[in-house]
Amino acid sequence: MESLNVVITGTSRGLGRAMALGFAGAGHTVLGCGRSAEAQTALAEELGEPHDFQAIDVASERVGGWAAGLIERYGAPDLLINNAALINEVRPLWEVPTEEFARLLEVNVYGSYMVLRAFLPAMIERGRGVVVNFSSGWGRSTSPGVAPYCASKFAIEGMTRALADDLPAGLAAVALSPGVVDTDMLRTAWGDSAAAHPKADAWAKRAVPFLLALGPSDNGGSLTVGR
Q: Which residues carry out catalysis? A: 149
Find out whether 168 and 213 touch, Cβ atoms under 8 Å. no
Instruction: Report residue 206: phi and psi, to 5°.
Output: -90, -35
Strand ranges, E, within the chain:
5-9, 29-34, 52-55, 79-82, 129-134, 171-177, 222-224
Instruction: Determine phi and psi for 105, rounding to 5 degrees.
Output: -65, -35
Helices 111-126 and 147-166 cross at an angle (nearest 10°) of: 20
Angle at which helices 147-166 and 98-105 pack, to 10 degrees? 20
Q: Which amino acid is at 46?
A: E
CB 26 within 8 A of CB 211: no
Let me know how long the chain is.
227
